[in-house]
Amino acid sequence: MKNLPLAKVYQLLEPGPVVLLTTARKGRANVMTMSWHMMVEFEPPLVACVVSNADYSFAALTATKECVIAIPARRLAQKVADVGNCSGRDVAKFEKSGLTPLKAKRVAAPLVAECFANLECKVVDSRLVNKYNLFVVEVLKAWIDPRQRNPKTIHHRGYGTFVVDGSTIKLKSRMR
C-alpha cells in the first residue's frame, strides 16, 4: 500500500462506490458493507456516512470514534455481498469472508488488504447520530494499492443488484 495524498480522496468516494467499513473494539475487528456515504469537504477530507444502530459496527464506531473505509473493486463483489449478509454479532466476519485485516497507522480499526484503497478515519461530528445514525468522519491517512490499476468499483441498486463502472468520459469542466 502506498500513501495517497489527502487532496485526492474525494475522487474515490464522490462516484458513490460500495465500500467496506471496519472497526475494532476490545481487540475484536469487524467489517460491514456500506453504501450511504458522501464527501463533505475536500481537504482535510471529511466524509458523512450512515451506520445504522441496528448494525453491530454502530457500538464500536460510537465507542472508539475510529474506522477504516475500504474500497473494493469488482472482483470482491461476492465478498462484499457476503459481508453484508451476516452480522458481526454472530460471526467473525474477517475470518468468514476471507478478507485480510492489516494494521493501520493512525487508528485501531484494520485496513482491508484486498481493497484498492483504504481510508483511516476518526469521527469528528456526532450531532446527527441520535436522530439519523449519521457520522461525520475525517480522513487522517489514505492508502492506495498501486498494483490494482484502473479498478472498477461497484454501486448498489438495492437487493444485491450492483452496477459496475463502465466507460469513462472526459468533459471540459471548471469543476474540481
171 sits near its own copies (criterion: CB under 8 A): yes
- Measured CA to CA, the distance from residue 23 to residue 58 in angstroms comes to 9
169 sits near its own copies (criterion: CB under 8 A): yes
Question: What does the DSSP assignment read for 76-114?
Answer: GHHHHHHHHTS-TTTS-HHHHHT--EE--SSSSSPEETT
Q: Which of 10, 94, 135, 143 binds its own copies (CB under 8 A)?
A: 10
Q: Record the cell numbers describing residue 150, joined without a space.
A: 484502473
Q: Which of 6, 62, 65, 77 binds its own copies (CB under 8 A)?
A: 77
Burial (0-12, 13-18, 19+ Cβ within 10 Å), 34 = buried
Binding mask 130-159 for its own copies (x = CB under 8 A): -xx-x-x---------------x-xxxxxx
CB 113 within 8 A of CB 102: yes
36 sits near its own copies (criterion: CB under 8 A): yes
59 sits near its own copies (criterion: CB under 8 A): no
- Tell me which stretch binds its own copies (CB under 8 A): 39-47, 56-64, 102-110, 138-146: 39-47
- Measured CA to CA, the distance from residue 108 to residue 23 in angstroms comes to 8
The residues binding its own copies (CB under 8 A) are 10-11, 14-17, 33, 35-41, 46, 48-50, 77-78, 81, 84-85, 125, 127-128, 131-132, 134, 136, 152, 154-176
